Structure formats: C-alpha cells, structure tokens
Amino acid sequence: MQILDGKTVANAVKEQLITETVAHKNATSHSPHLAAILIGNDGASETYVASKIKNCADVGFKSTLIRFDATATEKEITEAVIKLNEDDDVNGILVQLPLPKHINEAVIINLINPTKDVDGFHPISVGKLVQGLPTFVPATPFGIMLMLQHYQIETAGKHAVVIGRSNIVGRPMSILLSQNTQYGNCTVTLCHSRTKDLEKICAGADIIVAALGIPGFLTADMVKEGAVVIDVGITRVADESKKSGYAIKGDVDFENVAPKCSFITPVPGGVGLMTIAALLKNTLAATSAKQ
C-alpha cells in the first residue's frame, strides 16, 4: 500500500507555479490576482478561504478577500461580482460555497465572467469540460487528476466508482475519469444517495473516489484488494483532545481500508492540499485565459 501524499504533490505543483509566476511578472509587470468572496462566518468556509489566500502569497500571487455578513442581499453579492468582472487587475474570482439560503447560487455563479471562473462552476466552463475542450476544471477533481498523474496511476480500462454527484466534486470527477485522456479512459459509475447495491458496486471497483461527506462511510468490506481509494471527505467531528475542539475526518475508514489498497489518500494531507494547488494553477492560467 502506498500513500498518495498531498503535501508532496501540492508542493511540487506550487514550486512549478512559483517559477512560472516569476516569469509572468517579468514579462508583464503584473501579479496573478485571485479575488475571493466569503459570505457569513461558517467555520469550515473561513478555514478554506484563509488557506486559499495564504497559498496565493506562497506562490507570489496577489489576493483580495471580500467579506459579507450572512445577511447580505443577493443584490450586494451581484454588485461585488460585477465589480470584480470589470476590474482588469483581477484574474480569478471565486465565491465560496455554500451560500446562505436566501442567495441563489446559480444566479451568482452565472454572473462570473467565464474567463475569470477559476472554480470552473460557470455553465460555460462545465459545458466545455463535458465536451473535452480546454477550460477551468473544478479544483478538487483537477487536484485528484494531478495526483493520479504524479503517481502515474494506470486508469485506462479501469472501473472507477465515484460516490457523490455534486457539481463541485462528484460529477466533474466522473466526467474527467471517463474522458479519452491519459489519466481518464475509465468505465465510470457515478453513485449517490439513491443508488442500490452501493456496497456491491464499490466492491467491484478498481478506483473509488469517495465524495459524499459522511465520515468513515467507505468500509473495508466495500473495497477490493488492490483498489485505489481517493478520499475527498473533510468533515469536522467534535474531538476534545484537539485544541480546535474538532478533528477532520474523511469519508473512508482509513485504518481498515488502507491495508487492502494499492494507493490511498490520507485525510488530512491528501486531496484537500491538492484542491488548493489546482486552484492556484487555474488562477495562473486565468492570466492568459481566452475561455
């Protein structure tokens, strides 16, 4: 069993980005610039956005964080997105999800200029992804693809099972793994809460991507000997022994699943770090985006 180490791969991606960013700055006298909008004060969202901002600084990007109270109106968020669309200094825009219930997510995502859509959530970006055209790939599935590439994991002809059909992870992941590309060419089964015989489907999988947000959901009896297991879960679970008062738990029962795997990602230290590295890659790409 080999651990797919997010720290090693993310650091390799970031080193490359540092070099490319220096070259970009020398050529244009401009720093890649990511703008993040954060609404409300959900603890997990705060942590993710803070990490995105810090990682921008690590690789020499500029970043701007625009914060709103949870009571902000859709009009206020709309105006902020339009302003960022019009700001020539800003290359990438992300609106941290989930949004408060009274704000329509689709309306806000639709407003982002697709050339600045570094999350890859705009319908134009999604359409291009489905057609296999160059576009911004959502950061978590993109990060997972970078990991498969780094460890040169054979995917062609394999049966990949993706658990979870979210627009952020599961659905784009299923598209990427099924595409006719070097780390695609899988036969993909996309499973969700209404899937029958999930245990049986997982037990037949060569590759499993668990992205449903239920800690410890994927147990050893659901995993074939030699499978590749990618854990996207990052749920906060109360833990008195931690200073923060919580521990981060993945969707995989790591202790019992790991011994059966050929490769497995840990949580923390796996996919989460890759998500940020992939977002940074998209932001640098946005400096020359003609999407």
Instruction: Specify the amino acid at residue 215.
Output: P
Between 117 and 206, CB nearer to ligand GUN: 117
Residue type for position 103: I
Answer yes or no whether residue 206 interacts with ligand GUN by CB under 6 A: no
Least separation in angstroms between residue 96's CB and ligand GUN is 5
**Of 119 and 231, which has the nearer Cβ to ligand GUN?**
119
The amino acid occupying position 58 is: D
Q: Which CB atom, from 119 or from 253, has the smaller least distance to ligand GUN?
A: 119
Give the x-and-dash track for 102-121 against ligand GUN (CB under 6 A): -----------------x--
By CB under 6 A, residue 96 contacts ligand GUN: yes
Report 224-243 residues binding ligand GUN (CB under 6 A): none
Is residue 98 reached through a cis peptide bond, with omega within 30 degrees of 0 on the bond before it? yes
Please answer whether residues 42 and 180 qualify as being in contact, where contact means their C-beta atoms are separated by less than 8 angstroms.
Answer: no
The question of whether 231 is a catalytic residue gets the answer no
Q: By C-beta, is 38 or 222 nearer to ligand GUN?
A: 38
- By C-alpha distance, which of 10, 251, 270, 285 is closest to 137? 285
Is 139 a binding residue for ligand GUN by CB under 6 A? The answer is yes
Query: Burial of 246 by CB count in 10 Å (0-12 exposed, 13-18 middle, 19+ buried)?
Result: middle
Min dist. Cβ of residue 252 to ligand GUN (A): 18
Q: What is the per-residue burial (b if ≥16 Cβ within 10 Å, else e) of 5-20?
A: bbeebbeebbeebeeb
| Residue 95 sits in the site that holds ligand GUN (CB under 6 A) | yes
Catalytic residues: 52, 96, 119
